[in-house]
Amino acid sequence: MTRLDSANLKPLFIERMKELLGDDFDNYIEAIEREPPRSIRCNTLKISPSDLKKRLEAKGWKLSQKFKKNPEIMIIENELEPGELGRSVEHVLGYYYVQEIASMLPVIALNPKPDELVLDLCAAPGSKTTQIASLMKNTGTIIANEVSLGRIKILASNTERCGVTNVVITKQDGAALCRKLKKLDYGFDKILIDAPCSGEGTLRSTPKTAIMWNINTVRKLSGVQKDLFSNAFSILKKGGEIVYSTCTHSPEENEGVVNSILEEFKGQIKIERINIPIKSREGISKWKEREYLEDVKYSCRIYPQDDETEGFFIAKFRKVGD
Ligand code: SAM
């Protein structure tokens, strides 16, 4: 795996991360320069975590399960050949999904249940759709939407490989899809918005993000994210829950979006505290000239230096009024 060279980070990105992290900035840089741990998620639709572990250990792999309540999350402790994780028979059979630990947390926070109606608004390549299907035990219905045709193909092949049978795949702009579903009077139990973002949290595994990063993308995406969220909120049933997540650190795409949604839907929305099995930090209370509403702090920031994961942001909401 190519490692990140922090010399490739742009000066404005460094300035912003220093502002976010203060004295912790050097720890952050050290963490993103380290190779990330490799993790897989057992696909419980096809095999139990204990059977998968036995099978993989029989091949000589060393696996650890760090989270008692989530035995499906496994870390590969030994060296593997390049590409071995994706080439193994167990992967081809859909017994596991190669997924970074932080990326598993939004679905753990969403906690989808059997028989629910769930919308996964930005779904490709399907890590979280397949995880949702596992938790729903292939019951109920998931609408998994994605705007990019190329990525839809990967989403479809991953859901098929993992034996998911409760999914309907749609190809639409997420906001437009929600407007159409609203006319049909749908009320979703749960919605996941794993939004398109500037990807700052993935620098560790995708170093080229450092070269592609620019502030205009951050600003443009924050508009897209707010639009996706407002439209999704209108098709959530009363009492239903939305998880908003990104794999980026920039406040404009995170607390900025959360703050604007809490303002737009005042009286109808409540942000919820979340329980995730790794160390996380509260949402920040201000950025540049903007002060955020107090409840924004119930969002979770996940930094690579805290628990050896990638960077993520997760916030969970409940619809309390129409
Ligand atoms: N949830 C996915 C997973 O866990 O595998 C990852 C989603 S990725 C962070 C964001 C996705 O949103 C990308 O596949 C991107 O093509 C898609 N996207 C971008 N703009 C969109 C839009 N307006 N509506 C729906 N999807 C969009």
The separation between CA 59 and the C-alpha centre of its own chain, rounded to angstroms, equals 30
Tell me the backbone φ, ψ of residue 245, rounded to 5 degrees.
-140, 155
Beta bridge partners of residue 226, listed in sequence order: none
Alpha carbon of residue 248 to chain centroid: 10
Are 62 and 20 members of one domain? no
Average pLDDT over residues 249-271: 98
* Ligand 1 centre distance from Cα of residue 123 (Å): 6
pLDDT at 84: 94
Name the domain boundary from 99, 115, 139: 99
pLDDT of residue 275 exceeding 80, the answer is yes
Residue 205: CB atoms within 10 Å: 18
Instruction: State pLDDT tens for residues 201-252.
Output: 999 999 999 999 999 999 999 999 999 999 999 999 999 999 999 999 999 9
pLDDT (0 to 100) of residue 184: 92
Q: Are 260 and 226 in contact (CB under 8 A)?
A: yes
Whole-prediction pTM value?
0.98
Query: Which residue's CA is the nearest one to ligand 1's atom 21?
Result: 147
In a domain, 1, yes or no: no
Nearest C-alpha neighbor of 41 from the set 84, 110, 94, 115: 94
Give the burial class of 237: count Cβ atoms within 10 A of its Cβ; 0-12 exposed, 13-18 middle, 19 or more buried: middle
304 touches ligand 1 (CB under 6 Å): no
Among the candidates 99, 128, 152, a domain finishes at 99
pLDDT of residue 48: 98
Residues 142 and 90 in one domain: no
Catalytic annotation on 162? no
Say which CATH number the domain at 85 has: 3.30.70.1170
Q: What is the pLDDT of residue 271?
A: 98
Q: Which of 41, 103, 122 to mutate to test the pocket of ligand 1 (most atoms within 8 A of CB)?
A: 122
For ligand 1, the distance from its centroid to the CA atom of residue 51, given in whole angstroms, is 32
Distance CA 49, CA 65 (A): 10
Return the ∠ at Cα 90 (arms to 87 and 93), rounded to 5°. Answer: 95
Across residues 17-42, what is the average pLDDT?
96
Probe ligand 1: pick from 146, 190, 217, 253, max atoms within 8 Å of CB?
146
Measured between alpha carbons, how far is 9 from 16 in angstroms, rounded to an integer? Answer: 11
- The answer to whether the CB of 106 is under 6 A from ligand 1 is no
What does the mean pLDDT of the chain come to?
Answer: 96
Q: Is the pLDDT of residue 1 over 90?
A: no
Q: What amino acid occupies position 81?
A: E
Q: Across residues 133-162, what is the average pLDDT?
A: 98
Residue 142 has pLDDT above 90, yes or no: yes
Task: Indicate whether 17 and 113 sit together in one domain.
Answer: yes
- Bridge partners of 38, per DSSP, are 76
Residue 168 is predicted with a pLDDT of 98
Number of structural domains the chain divides into? 2
Q: What domain range is 178 assigned to?
A: 6-35+102-319
